Amino acid sequence: DAERTRDGARMITDNIGGLGVFGVERFVKGDEVYFSEVSPRPHDTGLVTLVSQDASEFALHVRALLRLPVQQPTVRTPAASATINATQSSDDITFEISEAIAIPGVQARLFGKPTAHVNRRLGVMLAVGEDVKQARARAQEAVEMSTIHYGTPS
């Protein structure tokens, strides 16, 4: 459940120490929760906070590092993200996303990675909606409408 997951993440980050936002990635299979990794910085899985709440993961990270008060952010709107993943390896990639970002409530964040490898996350589509289901559908539709052009194989 969500409370047990939060408690587990808190236990991990409290034992690491430090300040700021930590991305604690875990996988769920059935009733089991498995630890994957900790990123001691804002993480691409939290980019949805740029469109969903009044304080993004980046704003919260900076406030924590500067030892300024950090309050629980207020969720402004249901939102979701979907990753843009490479399907090939290449040292020369470009994106075609103009139709995708024309979908109401959709924004793109491309990571600027210079090379692509199969399944490498190259960006995310962020979407808002009337509910999370609609936001997820918009984000996924935007990914499906996006094209990665691959040049020189790496």
pLDDT digits (tens, 9 = 90+) for 74-126: 999 999 999 999 999 999 999 999 999 999 999 999 999 999 999 999 999 99
**What is the rounded distance in angstroms from the CA atom of residue 6 to the CA atom of residue 22?**
12
Pairing of strands 106-110, 121-128: antiparallel
Sign of CA dihedral 8, 14, 17, 21: positive
pLDDT beyond 90 at 44: no
